Each structure stands twice: as C-alpha cells, then as structure tokens.
A = this chain, B = another copy of it.
C-alpha cells in the first residue's frame, strides 16, 4: 500500500536542461519545482522527476527501444488517460509509438502510447480496463 504523501522519484539524463524544461513543463504540462546548474526537478504527475545534465552521446545516436527502460503513468481513470493523449494531439507533441490497444482479449488489455523526450527517454502512458492489472 502506497503511503499517502510518499513520492516515487526518478532521475534521468538530459542533454540540455532548457530543452528538458521546455518538453516537460511547456509541452507536457508538468510543474517545475527547482532549477539548478546541473539539473531540474519536476512534479511529474505527482511524482518527482529529476533531469540531470549529461553529455550527449556522439552521433550517430544509439537506437532507442521501449525495453527494457522506460517510465510513465498508469491512470486509474480512462478520462485522465484521454486528457493526456488529447494534450499531446493538441500541442502536436511527437509520439514515439502511436496510441494502441495491447493484449486485446486478455485480462491485461490496456491502452497505451509512448513519447520520446529530447534526451531519448521514453515515456509511456497506460490505462488498464481492469485496474487490478495496473501492477
């Protein structure tokens, strides 16, 4: 059971903090909590996301794959999932993987779409028909 008031926190690399702030705050609608020379901290859907300034890998960039490393939010209510997807459409945020239904016909069925931030981190939003499958 998650204690009321605890927060998950996740630290990820950012090649450029300006771009990270633009993506998460101005595009995705997260809230900027603090800004330092080497990192920014965000209120990302109620949890803490920290973008640490990191040297960009030399070109060509490596391939980006959803597995094994990505993060995101699993919404309890379909309306909240729809709202975030709608925001991405209206603000023309480029998607890495289009909205789709996975595992149709199984109990694990859920909707999902994936974003890619300017530092190649992948963010997945999900909604499960059966909330007990959220874990």
A residues in contact (CB < 8 Å) with B: 1-14, 25-26, 29, 31-35, 41-43, 45-48, 51-54, 66-77, 80, 83-84, 86-87, 90-91, 105-107, 124, 126, 129-135
A63 CB to closest chain B CB, in angstroms?
14
In the complex, A72 Cα to B25 Cα: how many Å? 22
Q: A52-B68, A68-B54, A106-B90 are in contact. Are A43 and B7 (CB under 8 A)?
A: no
Top 7 A-B pairs ranked by shortest CB distance? A2-B46, A5-B76, A52-B68, A33-B135, A13-B68, A31-B31, A32-B32
What B residues does A51 contact at CB under 8 A?
Answer: 68
In the complex, A9 Cα to B105 Cα: how many Å? 23
